[in-house]
Amino acid sequence: MNQYLLKNYPNPFNKEIKIDYKTEKNGHVRLLIINTMGQIVNILVDQHQLAGNYRITWDGTNNDGYKIPEGEYFMQMITDGFSETKKIILVK
């Protein structure tokens, strides 16, 4: 079973970042933005998805819709039996 966080661009980003990911098996997918203290800043995806390629755009906001400070963050993809994390950088 292959699940992947593919591309994230542009990185560093200013206004928004596109996140491409792939899942080869139907199942629950979570895509999180996490700060350097390990706190979840935004939950971009938290749902059952069919196998396939996906793209989501994140605008640098938290779950309440407020802009977050510039700095390093991590995007984490979690599915059944799989987790992958990549660093992203928000600049203003």
In the chain the domains, ranked by start, together with CATH numbers, are 3-90 (2.60.40.4070)
Instruction: Work out the pLDDT band at 52, boundaries 50, 70, 90.
Output: very high
Helix (H, G, I), strand (E, B) or coil at 8: strand
pTM of the model: 0.91
Instruction: Quick: pLDDT tens for 22-50.
Output: 998 999 999 999 999 999 999 999 999 99
Please give the average per-residue pLDDT across 4-16, as a whole number.
Answer: 86
Instruction: Work out the pLDDT band at 1, boundaries 50, 70, 90.
Output: low
The answer to whether residues 43 and 56 touch, using CB atoms and an 8 Å cutoff, is no
